[in-house]
Amino acid sequence: MSFKNWTLEHDGEGITWVTLNRPEASANTLASSVMDELSDVLDVLDEIKPRGVVFRSGKSAGFIAGADIEEFKGMDIPKGRALIKRGWDLFNRLAAVKYPTLALIRGHCMGGGLELALACRYRIVVDEPGTRLALPEVKLGIVPGWGGMLRLPRLVGPAVALDMMLTGRTVDARRAKKIGLADACVPPRVMTQAAKSLVVSGQSAYRPPLAQRLQNGLLRGFVAKQAIKSVAQKANPIHYPAPYAIIEMWRNYAGNSLEVPAHLTTSLDAVLSSTTTANLVRVFFLQERLKSFGKVEAGAAAKFDPQHVHVIGAGVMGGDIAAWCALRGLRVTLQDQSVERIAPAIVRAQKTFERSLREPRLVRQALDRLIPDAHGDGVIQADVIIEAIFENLEAKQTLFADLEQRAKPTAILASNTSSLKLGDIAKGLRAPERLVGIHFFNPVAQMQLVEVVKGAATLAEHVERAAVFVRKLDKLPLPVADAPGFLVNAVLAPYLEEAMRCVDEGIAPELVDRAATDFGMPMGPIELADTVGLDIAAKVGTQLVSGPNGSQPGATPPQRLSELLAAGHLGRKSGQGYYRYVDGKPQKSSVAEAAEDLSKLTERLIHPMLAAAQALVAAGVVSDADAADAGVIFGTGFAPFRGGPLHYLARR
């Protein structure tokens, strides 16, 4: 029996296989039409009274990606409440059916997809790298209102459930089994048989240990207070109301968001009407746009499937770029002047692999893909060659002249330069149109954005191929023009310099940082400069910043910065910068705690960033204001709840 989105197949053992496969969509989402049909599917199942039902996906991409976010655009309170009520009622109905139900989860299972799985009696996860489960609604400024706040805490305990819901963090297949979210974790070859066996087994639904059940009962208030305390360290309730709403809805309303009185700041109405929600939904679509830059539909770039990457320069950036490529499954050769220079990068890579992969077998496989290559033999086989040596124009020109002769004609020649012009680097090449910028940010493993730079001579095809490569690394490509600092550094530099000028005027670094974090920045500019390295900040600033009050390049650098550099204080990496560091943590005075109104200081700090973003759009460094907003959010951490610098500027 088939609907538009769902198919029901009855096997000879009394099991009904319910398959979701949205036509003309790359991933399954629970759009209104899908949910309406699910109600009809349940009607049919109630009539036939199957021995067991297995829900599965007809998409290779995964199980269910969640709700259809397109339906969130321009949503008002009545529409939002109606959407929540439909899902809440429908999944409660699924949870109450008499026949056993099972969700067979392979690939991503997010948001409403996980809420559907939670409404089933059993869950089986397939042990593959792509299997990830999460309730990430908080990242959109909303709450998991289709039963997630009710069923996840009951299943895995409130501590684990709240951590997942308040952060949006994903869990892999093995972790899902360990915490009780899944009844079984199986390899792909046996998943069908495992589902058939479990759904008709008569096995009782999983029941968590007594300690977790107590946390859902007598200890509920204590757990909620601890959760609020933890969230308060990371999210201001004025800026991000959704995490606090999730805690309140779980603690006092059994996860039913519809029951919270509308006048409360933690109500569904308050969440739906929040500008934060609208802006975080906007950020979701900005992220999707960045992803689209790496999805080329036609031409040579569409067929580009790089397998071998050669990285030159085993310093922090080059070594970490190489490690990330190996982590994402690519074969990588890492070149530097000697094996001894490459060794520290391999040590860092092993630690990265151990944190990310956890399983020794997978760590060994990733290390096997990362090959020290002091002589540069990997150049001739590489599909992508990335230069990440020190910022010296002559050295880069000499290197690329040699690479051009040795590399495959189809290989991408890329520079990770952060401040030099691509056109200048390409001057010594016979075919300057081959050179493209692929600019990663530090730390590579954490920063999602990668700027893809088109020089004056670069062919569009090479930019497209570079963007395809970036998406293969699960990063977000942003096409930018070849201008000093491109987008991100050109926006950050005047912001950092203005902060340092404030310190020169006698304003405490703690107050400067507090003014920025009050605005919503993840880290204050002074601490950020210390983290980047004051030597690097000074070099980039000299190249990119015009100086105080719009003066020309070459203006006197910030006085305190010069003093610190002269004393050898480079920031966090040397243990001393604007702050002193103990175990990598800045030692700050309590002066910021007594501050009340820092709005004027905040305005002063943010203004150069907004002005720079405007100027870069006007100059064509990025295509439009939305692209600039996306780049600044994902490249600098600009407060996401404000929707991007130019969006914020247009609405304040």
Of the listed ranges 198-207, 461-470, 493-502, 594-603, the one predicted with least confidence: 594-603
CATH number at residue 368: 3.40.50.720
612 in the same domain as 568: yes
Distance CA 545, CA 539 (A): 10
Q: What is the pLDDT of residue 594?
A: 67
- Does residue 226 carry a pLDDT above 80? yes
Q: Looking at the domain assignment, is residue 260 inside a domain?
A: no
Distance CA 388, CA 396 (A): 9
CATH number at residue 601: 1.10.1040.10
Q: What is the dihedral of CA 309, 310, 313, 319, to 10 degrees?
A: 30
Distance CA 305, CA 303 (A): 6
Give the mean pLDDT of 369-398.
95
Give the mean pLDDT of 519-523.
92
For residue range 354-367, list pLDDT tens digits in order: 998 888 999 999 99
CA dihedral for 227, 229, 233, 235, sign (positive or negative): positive
Q: How many domains does the chain have?
A: 3
Which residue is catalytic, options 489, 497, 498, 527? 489
| Strand segments (E) across 336-382 | 370-372
234: alpha, beta or left, given left = phi > 0 and alpha = psi -120 to 50? alpha
Element (H, E) at 385: strand 384-387
B/e letters for 466-478, b = 16+ CB within 10 Å, e = fewer, are bbbbbbbbebbbb
Element (H, E) at 386: strand 384-387
Which residue is catalytic, options 248, 387, 451, 527? 451
Q: Do the strands 580-582 and 585-587 form a parallel or antiparallel pair, or are they unpaired? A: antiparallel
Task: Read off the DSSP letter of residue 2.
Answer: B
Distance CA 642, CA 619 (A): 24
Q: What is the pLDDT of residue 552?
A: 45
- Does residue 92 carry a pLDDT above 80? yes
Give the mean pLDDT of 99-103.
97
Give the mean pLDDT of 555-566.
90
Question: Active-site residue 274, yes or no?
Answer: no
Nearest Cα to 34, choosing from 7, 73, 12? 7
Under a CB-based contact definition with an 8 Å cutoff, are residues 432 and 413 in contact? no
What percent of the chain is modeled with pLDDT above 70? Answer: 97
**Token pair recorded at residue 254:** 């059994």
- Does residue 472 carry a pLDDT above 90? yes
Q: Looking at the domain assignment, is residue 361 inside a domain?
A: yes
For residue range 436-453, list pLDDT tens digits in order: 999 999 889 999 999 999
For residue 548, what pLDDT band results from cuts at 50, 70 and 90?
Answer: very low
Which residue is catalytic, options 274, 418, 419, 498? 418
Q: Do the strands 108-110 and 62-64 form a parallel or antiparallel pair, or are they unpaired? A: parallel
For residue 544, what pLDDT band results from cuts at 50, 70 and 90?
Answer: low
Q: Looking at the domain assignment, is residue 132 inside a domain?
A: yes
Give the mean pLDDT of 314-318.
94
Distance CA 26, CA 24 (A): 7
Nearest Cα to 450, choosing from 437, 440, 461? 440
- In angstroms, the Cα distances linking 247 to 96, 134, 165, 190, 212 are 25, 17, 9, 38, 16
What percent of the chain is modeled with pLDDT above 90? Answer: 84
User: Which runs of consecutive H residues, i.e. helices, occur in 506-570?
Assistant: 509-519, 525-532, 534-544, 559-566
> With DSSP H G I counted as helix, E B as strand and the rest as coil, what are the percentages for the chain, rounded to 5?
50, 15, 35
Q: What is the pLDDT of residue 543?
A: 63
Q: Looking at the domain assignment, is residue 586 inside a domain?
A: yes
- Domain boundary residue among 170, 191, 219? 219
Task: Read off the DSSP letter of residue 5.
Answer: S
Q: Looking at the domain assignment, is residue 98 inside a domain?
A: yes
State which residues form the domain around 95: 6-219
Average pLDDT for the chain? 93
Q: Looking at the domain assignment, is residue 313 inside a domain?
A: yes
512 in the same domain as 451: no
335 in the same domain as 408: yes
95 in the same domain as 17: yes
Question: Active-site residue 108, yes or no?
Answer: no
Question: Active-site residue 439, yes or no?
Answer: yes
For residue 539, what pLDDT band results from cuts at 50, 70 and 90?
Answer: confident
510 in the same domain as 476: no
Q: Looking at the domain assignment, is residue 226 inside a domain?
A: no
The single residue listed with the structure tokens 């910030």 is 558
**Token pair recorded at residue 431:** 């075919």
- Domain boundary residue among 165, 195, 219? 219
- Domain boundary residue among 432, 467, 484? 484
Give the mean pLDDT of 540-554.
52
Q: How many helices (H) and strands (E) does the chain have?
A: 26, 20
- Does residue 547 carry a pLDDT above 50? no
Give the mean pLDDT of 72-87.
92
**Token pair recorded at residue 584:** 């990598």
Cβ within 8 Å of residue 279, ≥6 positions away: 141, 640, 641, 642, 643, 647
306 in the same domain as 444: yes
For residue range 168-210, list pLDDT tens digits in order: 999 999 999 999 999 999 999 999 999 999 999 999 988 888 8
- Does residue 212 carry a pLDDT above 90? no
Nearest Cα to 438, choosing from 400, 404, 477, 401? 477
Nearest Cα to 411, choosing from 386, 442, 377? 386
475 in the same domain as 500: no
Element (H, E) at 134: strand 132-134
Give the mean pLDDT of 402-407.
95
**Token pair recorded at residue 491:** 């926006």
524 in the same domain as 460: no
Long-range interactions of 217-221: CB distance < 8 A, separation 24+? 220/158, 220/251, 221/251
432: alpha, beta or left, given left = phi > 0 and alpha = psi -120 to 50? alpha
Q: How far is CA 581 from the centre of its chain?
A: 28
394 in the same domain as 319: yes
476 in the same domain as 522: no
For residue range 476-516, list pLDDT tens digits in order: 999 999 998 899 999 999 999 999 999 999 999 999 999 99
Q: Looking at the domain assignment, is residue 427 inside a domain?
A: yes
**Token pair recorded at residue 580:** 């002193």
CATH number at residue 18: 3.90.226.10
Any idea what the Cα angle at residue 496 is, between residues 422 and 531, rounded to 5°? Answer: 85
- Does residue 640 carry a pLDDT above 50? yes
Give the mean pLDDT of 429-440.
95
369 in the same domain as 345: yes
- Residue 603: phi, psi to the nearest 5? -60, -40
- Does residue 541 carry a pLDDT above 80? no
510 in the same domain as 431: no
